[in-house]
Amino acid sequence: MASEESFVVLVHHRGSVNRKTRSGVKFTDKNPLCIVITSTTSYDDLVSAVLMKLGLDGAKRVMFLCRRQFPEVRTPELLARLVDVVSSSSGSNRNTNTIANPAGSSSRPAVASSSVPVYEPVVQHVASPSFAVDLNGTEGDEVVERENLPNALVGVAPVGVGDGFLVDEEEDDVEPDMIDDDSADDIGATGPALEVGFGARDAEGTTGLTEFQVGQQFQDKDEALLSVKTYVGKCSKFGNGCTWLIRLSLRKRKGIWEVKRYNGPHTCLATSISSDHRSLDYHVILAFIMPMVRADASVSIKVLLNATAAHFGFRPTYRRVWMAKQKSIALIYGDWDESYNDLPRWVLGVQLTMPGSVVVLKTTPVRVGGQVDESQAYFHRLFWTFPPCIEAFRHCKPLVSIDGTHLYGKYGGTLLIAIAQDGNSNILPVAFALVEGENAESWTFFLSHLRQHVTPQPGLLVISDRHNGIKAALEAPDGGWLPPSAYRAFCIRHVAANFALTFKGKDARRLLVNAAYAKTEVEFDYWFDILRSEDPAMCEWANRIDYSLWTQHRDEGRRFGHMTTNISECVNSILKGVRNLPVASLVKATYCRLAELFVRKGREAEAQMGTGQQFSQHLVKCIEANMKTARCFTVTLYDRDNSEFTVAETTPTGSFSLGTYRVSLASRTCDCGYFQALHFPCQHALACCAYSRVTWTSYVHSVYQISSVFNVYRMGFTPPILEGFWPPYDGPTVIPDPDKRRAREGRPRSTRIRTNMDEADPNRPKRCGLCRQPGHTRRSCPQVGGSSQTGHH
């Protein structure tokens, strides 16, 4: 069955109306309510959703008027007036009822009025963006057909018949000039104020029989409108590039307003929207990009911006698209601020779902006027891991990579991750932490809990970057990370990036990386000598770092061949998109993503065991590649126990060859360095096994056995218990630290630490940012149409 299409409705609401004063009523909330409905949502459901979001369920009655709608993205904006549920029929000659049809009804909403005649649509509807709902389902140039609207919107009464003239039979006060969007969310909107639709609209009135004078007052708007026989509305740019005009007259005998003259559509439409015009605000962009964000929360702002520009023909600001994405994520995954208060209940819920889960939530006090507010607490840090991850690490390689990655969204922060690797070269995150940033305190918080709950094994290797916070945490006397309990190694990717900050050129960086990957001292000296010939200062820079921290030939086989932290691979393959989510959705996503990973990898290992395989696919491929070259060697035995050999290469293999190698099967070493570094037989050791008719399988580390790989994923995750059954939380409300909120104005600051990898090659030709072709820039790109090149007005 096809999925049900959804709509985003923006509801601007007013407070209760005092029917005696009938004036001074203003919008009580500039932030509209974003409500997602489907094509089957009824009018009553829409009303209930509005009242529920306002916390007024049953206490108010809602009356809607369609404010504006953009047909291209189908984003209706409704003006909702909240009225006390009391009788107001006596003592007034005002309108008493404006109730939209129930879903599916084809009749107009009942509107009773003793002062203003009921508006009836004329034969030909005005093609105006503001008149977007056709109650009778007739077609128009810019009128949305009834069958394409959700049921909840079918009976909503239109405000007026033109962009310049608004007739509101139910208003009790002066019609405001515009529905003001949140200025903090709509940065850069410098265009003129809008009344409705695309472009600014001004209106002027001409009198009928009644003479007016300055200072004249009326009891209410209805009385004022009845004094006007004819009303003329024209575009604010009338006479300056636009001819839009509408003339309406009151037909007293029929009791209706009739369009007498209409010049349309707006000819200023194509030139009135620049890249920062209010009409293309984040509400419109939100409705357009929501399907893309729902499919992939990690979709970049650049992709969304280009898609929006291609769809509307106008290029919005980066900030506006960024804001639209944050709003859409909040609609899909929950509010950014409320998400922090969901964490305490999630802690209780996950511990109920998976007993043995380790979750540590830290908060800081909120001070108001020098006093601690006991009812609230700032979120500080969160550490969490799950029982399957704890059990899995016991069967992984005895090393762990740690690194941090920045959070994206409304609030900043850093996600710290500990990554393990099984015997089939699959990466596996085993522990997480949300912290304020990378510093000595946050790393101590993460590493202390990691050591205590996940990685208590002795002799463990920790691979990380050279961050001083990690150094301080690992060197703490009581942290449990000092040798011989644990050892440290640097990620060569970070070392090379730091090296390139001082020494430019890819060749020098490549030489340093080759030296780091060298598995023997002879090969290391070979590459280092070439580096020294390039610039002795490069070697002096490298010599300031202990060789055991960044070279493979000095690590005593603890790396298992792994030279990087694998953080990017982990984020891209397993945790893709989680950094873009509110914190509660982020932690929930780790549970679901790991549950899926354990099922998938566990099935793969189980299937391989079922076919009788003894070792992982990764090891089998490596052994097969080594066997192909092992046939070209000359083997000499040097002891009676078949353990000490020399192997001579008849044809040199690889880019660096010694010619003759000593192999010891007893100590599992070879002069090539591969045997002791990777913990399975190298090509020379395989040649010795074949010569002695000894099986090579006994010289493979147990982590590569398929049974060990299966044991990594043996313990699965249990389906999460529904949130309604989680234990109650009665502690203080957890709120985000306001200091962590991103800048409210301007382009959001990048959280990426830029290195030489972000620098462009100076010899590379400049390319257009849109079509990626050389020879021109984005501003002069021939692929851009005339309308999208419109500048600011």
pLDDT digits (tens, 9 = 90+) for 40-69: 777 778 888 878 777 776 666 666 654 444
Arithmetic mean of pLDDT, 19-26: 35
What is the model's pLDDT at position 272? 42
Query: Taking residues 768-790, what's their average pLDDT?
Result: 62
Q: Strand, helix or coil at 742?
A: coil
Highest mean pLDDT among 223-227, 380-384, 651-655, 740-744 belongs to 380-384
Task: State mean pLDDT over 344-371.
Answer: 95
Query: Looking at residue 654, what is its pLDDT?
Result: 64
Q: Identify the bridge partners of residue 433 per DSSP, sorted by sequence position.
A: 383, 416
Instruction: Kindly tell me if the per-residue pLDDT of 153 is higher than 60.
Output: no
Nearest by Cα to 164 from 254, 268, 276: 268
| pLDDT tens sequence across 443-453 | 999 999 999 99
The answer, yes or no, to whether residue 335 has pLDDT greater than 90, is yes
State the Cα–Cα distance between residues 180 and 185, nearest whole angstrom. Answer: 11
pLDDT of residue 42: 78
pTM: 0.65
The percent helix, strand, coil of the chain (3-state, each to 5) is 35, 20, 45
pLDDT in tens, 708-743: 999 999 999 999 999 999 999 999 999 999 999 987
Taking residues 403-414, report their average pLDDT.
Answer: 91
Confidence of residue 357 (pLDDT cuts 50, 70, 90): very high
Phi, psi of 415 (to 5 degrees): -100, 115
E-assigned strand segments in 686-775: 733-735
**Confidence check: pLDDT of 697 > 80:** yes
Given this model, what pLDDT does residue 771 score?
64
Say how far apart CA 10 and CA 17 lie, in whole Å: 21
Q: In this model, does residue 326 exceed pLDDT 80?
A: yes
Lowest-confidence pick of 355-369, 751-765, 770-784: 751-765
Task: Return d(Cα 242, Cα 266) in angstroms, integer.
Answer: 6
- Given this model, what pLDDT does residue 535 score? 92
Instruction: Tokens 């209410």: give the residue.
Output: 220
pLDDT greater than 80 at residue 149: no
Which of 123, 199, 198, 122 is CA-nearest to residue 167? 122
> Which run of H or E residues covers position 43?
helix 43-54
Q: Which residues pair with 486 in a beta bridge?
A: 460
User: Is 759 a residue whose pLDDT tops 60?
Assistant: no
Q: Which residues contact 506 (CB under 8 A, 6 or more apart)?
A: none
Residue with tokens 């000490």, as numbered in its chain? 644
The contacts found for 290-298 with CB under 8 angstroms, 24 or more apart, are 290/8, 290/328, 290/331, 290/332, 293/325, 293/328, 293/329, 293/332, 294/328, 294/332, 296/576, 296/577, 297/329, 297/332, 297/333, 297/577, 297/578, 297/580, 297/581, 298/576, 298/577, 298/579, 298/580
pLDDT of 393 > 90? The answer is yes
Pick the residue with more confidence: 74 or 718? 718
Query: Kind and range of the H or E element at 486?
Result: strand 486-490
What percent of the chain is modeled with pLDDT above 70? 66
Average pLDDT over residues 563-569: 86
* Type of residue found at 267: T
